[in-house]
Amino acid sequence: MDRTRFAAAFAATLLLAACASSAPVVQTDHAAGVDFSRYRTYSWVEQPHTASPITQDRLINAIDGQLAAKGLQRVPEGGDIALAGRLDTREDVSYHHFSVGLGVGGWGSNSGGGVGTSAGTSTPKTNLVGALVLDMYDAKTRQALWHATASGNAPTTPEKVDATLTSTIPQMFAKFPPPR
């Protein structure tokens, strides 16, 4: 697989914590007053899609594992909770600038003068960044229950993808279910 497709596939996983310089940003929100203890099952109504089916399986299994650990059982359809996931990716370009300047001038009496010059260069750097978005809805009432996002730089190797999944998915579910 070429490097661009490889990076896109892994951005799809969760992109996130892979770069040491950019930790993932995880945010969650929930509807107030919802009693999550009454929900026992969930069904995927939309799974996040990745360029690699292997990566997608890892991502879905990581999410399913977290929900199972919280006491929810996945069912093919008709779950108490409808779970929707989406993965958005984009290229982020930043520029690194370097410049050098030189100046000469005079001061005083009735004469003066000045000479100046400057040279610089800008180098673009492209990063693949992405965001995984998960939403839970009450399957009967269609009321939004819970929302989570994880965003950051895309991992570039299979090892970094695994590390990203291992660290980021649990962060998304660390406070799930939220208190009533």
Give the model confidence (pLDDT) of 113-172 as tens digits. Answer: 556 666 777 778 777 788 999 999 999 999 999 999 999 988 878 888 889 899 999 999
Amino acid type, 15: L
- Asked if 128 and 94 touch (Cβ cutoff 8 Å), the reply is no
DSSP bridge pairs for 16: none
Rounded (10°) CA dihedral 55, 57, 58, 61 = 160
CA distance 20 to 129: 14
pLDDT tens digit sequence for 6-54: 444 444 443 333 333 467 899 999 999 999 999 999 999 999 998 889 9
For the chain, state the CA radius of gyration: 24
**Where do the domains of the chain lie?**
3-94+126-172
Q: Please report where in the chains the tokens 């940003």 appear, as a residue.
A: 25
pTM: 0.73
Domain 3-94+126-172, second-level architecture: 2-Layer Sandwich (3.30)
Name the region of 108 (left: φ>0; alpha: ψ -120 to 50; beta: rest).
left
Specify the pLDDT at position 64: 98
Q: Is 87 within 8 Å of 131 (Cβ atoms)?
A: yes
Of the candidates 132, 123, 157, which has an alpha carbon nearest to the alpha carbon of residue 3?
A: 157
Amino acid in the structure at residue 163: A
Q: What is the DSSP letter of 172?
A: H
